[in-house]
Amino acid sequence: MTVMTFRQALHDTLRAEMLRDENVFLMGEEIGVFEGSYKITAGLLAEFGEKRVRDTPIAEEGFTGAAIGAAMLGLRPVVEIMTINFSLLALDQIVNHAAKIYGMFGGQATVPLVIRTPGGGGQQLGATHSQNIELYYAFVPGLKVVAPSTPADAKALLLAAIRDNDPVLFLENLALYNTKGEVPDDDTPAVIGKAAITREGSDLTLIGYSRMAYVAAQVAEQLAESDGLDIEVIDLRSLRPLDRETIIESVKKTHVAVVLEDDWLTYGIGAEIAASISDGAFDYLDAPVRRVAMAEVPLPYSKSLETAALPSTEDVINAIYQTLEAVGKRRTKIAQDS
């Protein structure tokens, strides 16, 4: 195991896959000479040259379409779209082409394409640069959508995405880039579509992905120390396919669930998870599934307003206790004061 940042795990995995397979190449705005807006691709242009690290114009529809064509012909492009907000400019290419080519042409062509793109608020980037719009893509059959929350999963899921023969949208939250964790030294890819139980417990199931899976792990540890709560934490890791089985089996054990997401509540990922729990574990539920999400507003630029709009640790703790109190479990004085 090696301790590294989320950012470094992505960089090292890209480099290792480019060394392993000469068909892997990178495309994106400012990823070469400037070494990437987030320095994920630092040093790769110097090592691999312009043929395999390709700076693109500010034309998301154009270079995403070019990458789809390259993938159909046997290459394995990894496209960096500077922010998921800009992916809207390539929506037709992603939804109407990348996602549908395999099915429309009877499997005659595959699209082994990875689109890496960061999102999320908290960076004072304004309403049009701070969104989590992964729901747009998780909705679409033919795409795979993954969202790591740890450096280890950043590596394992990126390995899986690059080696997959289907198009994969690889979500990165800006707030996670500098987080650190242990990363295995081997190159074993994750299984796309398999959630991880990052903490086992029996009192409540806490479900999140990306930044909110990170927050969930912190909250569960905090409440274990302050109030002796035994919370099970599920990191979804994959939004399409969604691991409903792991979620349902956990809720059958704990009988209560809280779902976290860094997005708007209405029509969100959390709604899909809550519906899945209702379908698969309704008879086991002792309280309604509670959801925690951001305020339903375009995210403000003002730091204080932005912070108020985003889901916080306090929001998560309150939702947990409101759920537990519905089944007769009261928070202790320690937890109330924490």
> First-to-last CA distance in the chain?
33
CA 279/CA 135 separation, integer angstroms: 20
Read off the tokens for 122: 């908290």
CA 120/CA 131 separation, integer angstroms: 5
Contacts of 231 (CB under 8 A, 6+ apart): 199, 201, 203, 204, 205, 206, 219, 220, 223, 224, 320
Say which DSSP state 114 is in. Answer: E
Read off the tokens for 66: 């070019």
User: Are 114 and 79 a contacting pair, CB within 8 Å?
Assistant: yes
Residues with active-site annotation: 60, 129
Contacts of 104 (CB under 8 A, 6+ apart): none
CA 311/CA 317 separation, integer angstroms: 11
Q: Give the CB-side neighbour count of residue 73, counting CA atoms within 13 A.
A: 6
Read off the tokens for 242: 């969604």
CA 197/CA 235 separation, integer angstroms: 6
User: Are 242 and 203 a contacting pair, CB within 8 Å?
Assistant: no
Triad 159, 76, 111: Cα angle to 5°: 105
Contacts of 253 (CB under 8 A, 6+ apart): 202, 205, 232
